[in-house]
Structure 1
Amino acid sequence: MDPHLAGRTARLLEPLHALGYFAPEVDAEVSGLGVRRGRATYFASRSAAMGRVGAGPVAATFYVFNPSLVAHFIPAAWEAASPEDVVAARYRGVSAAWSRLLGLDVLASDDVREAADLARTASSGCGVAGRPLFAAHADLAWPDKPHMVLFHALTLLREHRGDGHVAALIAADLSGIEALVTHTATGRGFTQPAAQATRAWSDEEWAAAVAGLAERGLMTSDGGLTDEGVALRKAIERRTEDSAVAPWDALGEAGTARLTELCRPLVGTALTNGAFPAGVFA
Structure 2
Amino acid sequence: MTTAALEPRAGRRCHNMLNTLHSTSYFAPELGRELAAVGITHPRAVNFAVRAAALGPVGAGAVTATFYNYKHELVARHVPAVWAIASPADVLAARARAVDAALRRLLGEEAVTSPEMAEAARLALRAAEACARGARPLYSAHADLPVPEEPHLAYFHATTLLREHRGDGHLAVLTASGLDGLEAVVTHTATGKGMTPKWVFSTRGWTQEDWDAACERLRGRGLLDDAGELTAEGVALRDGIEAETDRLDRAPYEHLGADGVARLTELGKEFARTAVAAGAFPADLTGKA
Question: What range describes the TM-score normalised by the shorter chain of this pair?
Answer: over 0.9
Pairwise mapping of residues 35-46 of structure 1 onto structure 2 (< 5 A)?
35-46=40-51
1:251 aligns with 2:256: yes
Shift of 1:14: 1.4
Q: Aligned pair count?
A: 282
AA aligned to 2:180 is S
Distance in 2, matches of 1:28 and 1:196, equals 23
Shift of 1:280: 4.4
Shift of 1:225: 2.3
Distance in 1, matches of 2:107 and 2:259, equals 25
Distance 1:279 1:214, change over 3 A: closer
1:169-191 residue CA offsets vs partner (Å, 9 max, x unmatched): 00101111111111122222122
Distance in 2, matches of 1:266 and 1:280, equals 20
Distance in 2, matches of 1:15 and 1:281, equals 13
Distance in 2, matches of 1:193 and 1:279, equals 9
Gaps (5+ residues) in structure 1?
none
Residue matched to 1:122: 127
Residue matched to 1:33: 38
Residue matched to 1:220: 225
Distance 1:222 1:109, change over 3 A: closer
Shift of 1:221: 4.3
1:208 aligns with 2:243: no
Distance in 1, matches of 2:225 and 2:258, equals 41
Distance in 1, matches of 2:35 and 2:97, equals 9
Asked whether the equivalents of residues 50 and 95 of structure 2 are also in contact (C-alpha less than 8 Å), the reply is yes
Residue matched to 1:58: 63
The one of 80, 90, 93 equivalent to 2:95 is 90
AA aligned to 2:216 is A
Indicate the percent of aligned positions where both proteins have the same amino acid.
Answer: 50
The one of 176, 181, 187 equivalent to 2:186 is 181
The one of 12, 16, 24 equivalent to 1:7 is 12
The one of 144, 151, 158 equivalent to 1:153 is 158
Report the 3-state secondary structure (helix = DSSP H, G, I; strand = E; otherwise coil) of the residue aligned with 2:167.
helix
AA aligned to 2:127 is A
Distance in 2, matches of 1:268 and 1:213, equals 35
Distance in 2, matches of 1:91 and 1:130, equals 26
Shift of 1:261: 2.4
Distance in 1, matches of 2:141 and 2:57, equals 12
Asked whether the equivalents of residues 184 and 195 of structure 1 are also in contact (C-alpha less than 8 Å), the reply is no
Asked whether the equivalents of residues 195 and 286 of structure 2 are also in contact (C-alpha less than 8 Å), the reply is no
The one of 116, 138, 141 equivalent to 2:143 is 138
RMSD: 1.6
Residue matched to 1:16: 21
1:29-56 residue CA offsets vs partner (Å, 9 max, x unmatched): 1121111242211110011000000011
Distance in 2, matches of 1:14 and 1:171, equals 24
Question: Which protein has greater RCO, CA pairs closer than 8 Å, 6+ apart?
Answer: 2
Q: Please, what TM-score do these two structures have when normalized by structure 1?
A: 0.95
Residue matched to 1:73: 78
Distance in 1, matches of 2:60 and 2:45, equals 12
Asked whether the equivalents of residues 15 and 281 of structure 1 are also in contact (C-alpha less than 8 Å), the reply is no
Q: Please, what TM-score do these two structures have when normalized by structure 2?
A: 0.93
1:277 aligns with 2:282: yes
Distance in 1, matches of 2:286 and 2:155, equals 20
Residue matched to 2:112: 107
Report the 3-state secondary structure (helix = DSSP H, G, I; strand = E; otherwise coil) of the residue aligned with 1:61.
helix
Distance in 1, matches of 2:67 and 2:235, equals 23
Shift of 1:270: 1.3
Shift of 1:71: 1.1
Shift of 1:154: 0.6
Gaps (5+ residues) in structure 2?
1-5
Asked whether the equivalents of residues 106 and 280 of structure 2 are also in contact (C-alpha less than 8 Å), the reply is yes
